[in-house]
């Protein structure tokens, strides 16, 4: 539990006011112009670069230009993402920049525990290895480094202010390895690099988390400043509403963990077809899902056709999953398709808001979904939706829905 500080911590004076600063780094004053130029590059050009791979490539280039021989540079940063736990970025003099996503799970944890990053995180000290004197079994990467002809290998921990543990490595093939001059310059500029990496990583985390929880377009709206209560955006679109049949009865006997697993497997059948057709999932509502397919300005029929294609593929995936025994008993779903205006905006009180989807057309889509079980049809469409389709549809008559005085004409796709 955090405690409020009664007084702000004391701060060391800046380097310009502290004559012992350079001595503390062991930096030769003759190197000061180069060191400051590199810090200026990090705080100016690198800070404006959104791609961290480019930042690291540029950093390696700067070091080489200053006579510090860098042939390989890697960086590992913790991530806040539902599909991976971290990002590894790699740069080599001959191959340029690449990256790798680290998975969640026990195997990834084991590999980290045996890595040089885990070692420097425990010691909180830099690690410099002369590879000619380093046993192959010290870390898993050592044999690969030797095979590639590297002479020295340097690993430095990077601790972000939020508590996450990260790191960076340097390797060189130079016969003399890393000199004391180069190491001192690295120590001088490393705090600035760590700051830039943290700023860019925090921005990426915020971007990822918002996209995961509110969707692609809403997350951009929030980041652009649309966070006042009452602000609303309207989108002409095909509206896709789906929910699982008999979920309440099925989940009544399940442990919470099993219910979550059921929903995740179910949504794995729904979401990929929606995204493959250009749709956006705006809201999960228990066992329900609301997605939209934006209407292009030049073709109002494309959104409806994309939504219908996604719905047909969703039902096919559920049928295949049932046939493979993934769901026992088998799952059925109801999908309703409507065309109209989805409005989303900030609803709530005080500092606690929800970016939610509202509007008569959204309500109508959810009401039509309730008819799936009554009519015994897995896929139903409204007349406004059918009016935007190029193909023929089969009318199922007009049906009463909650909240509307007049019955609503309902359709289904023509069966082959």
Domains of the chain and CATH, by start: 15-213 (3.30.450.40), 215-413 (3.30.70.1230)
- Mean pLDDT within 167-194: 93
Sign of CA dihedral 104, 106, 108, 113: positive
In this structure, are strands 379-382 and 333-349 parallel, antiparallel, or unpaired?
parallel
pLDDT at 21: 53
pLDDT of residue 356: 77
Rounded to the nearest 5°, which phi and psi values hold at 373? -70, -40
Q: What is the pLDDT of residues 294-338, one digit of tens each?
A: 888 776 688 999 999 999 999 999 999 999 999 888 888 999 999
Roughly what angle, to the nearest 10 degrees, separates helices 180-214 and 32-43? 10
- What's the average model confidence in pLDDT over 116-144? 95
pLDDT of residue 189: 92
Question: pLDDT: is 3 or 220 the higher one?
Answer: 220
Instruction: Calculate mean pLDDT across residues 41-49.
Output: 87
Phi then psi for 294, rounded to 5 degrees?
A: -65, 140
Output the pLDDT for position 344. Answer: 78
pLDDT at 17 over 70: no
pLDDT of 2 higher than 80: no
Supply the pLDDT for residue 300.
65
Mean pLDDT computed over 97-109: 90
Among 273, 269, 262, smallest CA distance to 317 is for: 269
- Name the strand (E) or helix (H) holding 161: none
In 10 A of CB 369, how many CB atoms?
23
* Residue 8: per-residue pLDDT: 41
Report which of residues 83 and 13 the model is more confident about. Answer: 83
Which region among 11-20, 118-127, 209-218, 397-406 has the lowest average model confidence (pLDDT)? 11-20
Share of the chain above pLDDT 90, in %: 45
What does the DSSP 8-state code read for residue 304? H
Does the pLDDT value for residue 352 go beyond 60? yes
For residue range 356-409, what is the model confidence (pLDDT) as tens digits? 778 889 889 989 988 988 888 999 999 999 999 887 788 999 998 888 888 999
Question: pTM of this prediction?
Answer: 0.72
pLDDT value at residue 108: 87
Helix spans in 140-179 (H): 142-147
132 pLDDT tier (thresholds 50, 70, 90): very high
Supply the mean pLDDT for the chain. 86
- For residues 212 and 9, the model is more confident at 212
Burial pattern 105-144, b for ≥16 Cβ within 10 A else e, equals: eeeeeeebeebbbbbbbeeeeebebebeeeeeeebebbee
User: How far apart, in whole angstroms, are the C-alpha atoms of residue 253 and residue 24?
Assistant: 65
Whole-number Å distance between alpha carbons of 220 and 293: 17
Rounded to 5°, the CA angle 259-260-265 comes to 100
Q: What are phi and psi of 363, to 5 degrees?
A: -60, -40
pLDDT of res. 14? 46
Instruction: Among 24-38, 183-197, 309-323, name the one with the lowest average pLDDT.
Output: 24-38
Q: Residue 158: is its pLDDT beyond 60? A: yes
Q: Looking at residue 49, what is its pLDDT?
A: 82
Contacts of 230 (CB under 8 A, 6+ apart): 345, 346
């Amino acid at each position: 539990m955090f405690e409020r500080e009664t007084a702000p911590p004391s701060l060391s004076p800046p380097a310009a006011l502290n004559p012992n600063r350079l001595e503390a780094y062991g930096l030769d004053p003759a190197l000061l112009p180069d060191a400051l130029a590199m810090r200026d590059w990090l705080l100016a050009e690198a800070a404006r670069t959104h791609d961290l791979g480019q930042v690291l490539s540029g950093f390696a280039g700067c070091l080489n230009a200053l006579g510090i021989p860098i042939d390989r540079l890697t960086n590992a940063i913790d991530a806040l993402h539902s599909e991976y736990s971290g990002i590894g970025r790699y740069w080599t003099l001959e191959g340029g920049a690449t990256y790798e996503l680290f998975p969640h799970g026990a195997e990834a944890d084991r590999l980290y525990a045996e890595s040089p990053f885990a070692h420097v995180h425990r010691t909180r000290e830099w690690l410099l290895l002369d590879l000619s004197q380093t046993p192959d079994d010290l870390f898993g990467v050592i044999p690969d480094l030797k095979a590639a002809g590297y002479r020295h290998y340097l690993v430095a921990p990077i601790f972000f202010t939020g508590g996450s543990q990260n790191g960076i490595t340097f390797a060189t093939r130079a016969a003399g390895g890393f000199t004391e001059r180069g190491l001192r310059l690295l120590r001088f500029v490393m705090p600035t690099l760590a700051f830039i990496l943290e700023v860019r990583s925090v921005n990426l985390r915020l971007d990822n988390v918002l996209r995961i929880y509110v969707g692609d377009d809403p997350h951009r709206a929030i980041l652009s400043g649309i966070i006042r209560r009452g602000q609303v955006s309207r989108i002409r679109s095909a509206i896709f509403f789906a929910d699982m049949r008999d979920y309440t009865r099925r989940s009544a006997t399940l442990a919470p963990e099993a219910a979550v697993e059921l929903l995740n497997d179910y949504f794995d059948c729904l979401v990929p077809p929606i995204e493959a057709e250009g749709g956006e999932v705006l809201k999960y509502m228990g066992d329900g899902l609301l997605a939209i397919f934006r209407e292009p300005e030049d073709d109002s029929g494309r959104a409806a056709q994309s939504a219908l294609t996604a719905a047909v593929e969703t039902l096919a995936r559920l049928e295949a999953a049932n046939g493979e025994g993934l769901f026992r008993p088998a799952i059925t779903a109801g999908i309703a398709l409507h065309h109209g205006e989805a409005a989303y905006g900030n609803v709530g009180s005080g500092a606690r808001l929800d970016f939610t989807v509202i509007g008569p057309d959204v309500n109508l889509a959810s009401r039509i979904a309730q008819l799936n079980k009554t009519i015994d049809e897995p896929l139903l469409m409204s007349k406004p939706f059918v009016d935007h389709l190029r193909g023929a549809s089969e009318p199922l008559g007009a049906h009463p829905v909650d909240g509307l005085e007049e019955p609503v004409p309902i359709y289904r796709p023509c069966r082959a």
